[in-house]
Structures are given as C-alpha cells and as structure tokens.
Amino acid sequence: MKYAIRTRHDLMSQEIRNHLKERFDTLGLSEDNTEPDIVVTIGGDGTLLDAFHQYVDRLDMTAFVGIHTGHLGFYADWLPHEINALAEGIAHGKYSIETYPLIEVRMSKLNAEPQKYLVLNEATFRLASGTLAVDVYLQNELFECFRGDGLCVSTPTGSTAYNRSLGGAIIHPTIEVMQLTEMASINNRVFRTIGSPLILPKDQTIKLIPTGAKKCILTIDHHTELHEDVTRLDYELSGKKVQFARLKASTFWNRVHNSFIN
C-alpha cells in the first residue's frame, strides 16, 4: 500500500502529519507522492480539494480520506485523536470505497483551443465587473436569457458548499446529477429567469453562451481564473468519478446534521 499525505501549513496539521507518517511506516506502508493508492489530507475541505486537483489524472487508482484540524468538513471527517485508528484501518484494508460524480467543464474561446476541467464541488461563471448576460441552453435548446451576477453548476457533493448558500438543494452524493443555481438574477418586466435551482440527470447537458462579455471569471472549486473572449461553456457529468475511503459509519446525512444543525 502506497500513501501520500497532503497538509495545511499550520503547526497542528504538521504535527499530525509527522505522527501519521510514523504510524504508516511502522505498519509497513510506503510513502509515494507520485503514484499513491491513498491520499490522506490534513486540514479542511480546501486541503482535500487541493489534493484532488493534484492527483486528478489518477482518480481511478487513488482514493482520498481527510482529517480536519478546524471545523468539521464533508470531505475531512476524521478527528486528530482518531489518527491511530485511521492508520490501522488503512494498513489492514478495513475500509470501503465510495465513488461520487464529477462535472466536466469545457470552455471555448476565440482563436484558442478549448480547455477542459474536472470539478469536485462547483464551477461558477460571472463577469469581472457588471452584470452577466448569458443564454442558457439545456440539451442544446434555449431555456432562458439570464441576467444577474452569475451562475453556479455544482456536483452532488458540492451541493452543501456554495450552492447551498445560493439557495440550492442538498443532494445525496451518490445521485448522478448536476445542479444549476442562479447568483442574484434580475427579474423584472424586461428580463425573466426561472428563479429556481435546476437539477439535471446524467444524460443531460448545460451550455452557456455569453452575450457581449469581454472579461469573465471562471472558478473551478476554489481556483479562480480570469479569461477574455469566452464564447461558450459546456457542462456535463464526467465519466470519471472521485473515490473516497470510508472507514467509519458516518453517513452523509450525519455530516449534514453536524455541519448545519448540531
């Protein structure tokens, strides 16, 4: 079993990393930062998102598990005092693999090759300044002409993140759908939008055609990029999935309860 550890750069996380590495080495696991079978992140959900994008080319061969050293996370759901049990469980293969859907985003620009991204949480699209004007196509049919701050397309696992703050639905992460939510849409006698989140099954697509936009901001999870002359954005569920190693009986709804209610 080959492992890699990715950590936030605070003292507590570094100390936990050192202790976990000692336990792994004692249990006969080998550290391999290039081709790990399992990646353990120490920090928060942002640390795991960083690790996901670092190993995005190995998703069918690498599983992820997170230890949180801050607030409870949806990805990082192990506590620091549980690391010995975590190390033992990984070393002896006492875990199951859960796979969750990902979104593929394809961005087209004038006089440039299309760029592709894989999304674990969400992808947002907005202007660098001003109101975004974009035609929204579902299954290549014009659905609405959106005016507002922007649009967010999220995975089921990302439904508890920015999507939730926009009023989107919380979706169980095993359901293969993607969700489109609006960011402060304009609705008056001239402009009308649906005004509600849309949940699309895995065989359907979303296409965005900006109208008159020059400089746009695209976010992929927690990464932000500024682009010019974007002509089209296509979203669909990817054929690839992310793998999580589950070693304890903590259900998705437990994590929702502990994060937002408890």
Catalytic site positions: 45
Half-sphere exposure of 44 (CA within 13 A, CB side): 7
- The residue to which tokens 């192990």 are assigned: 78
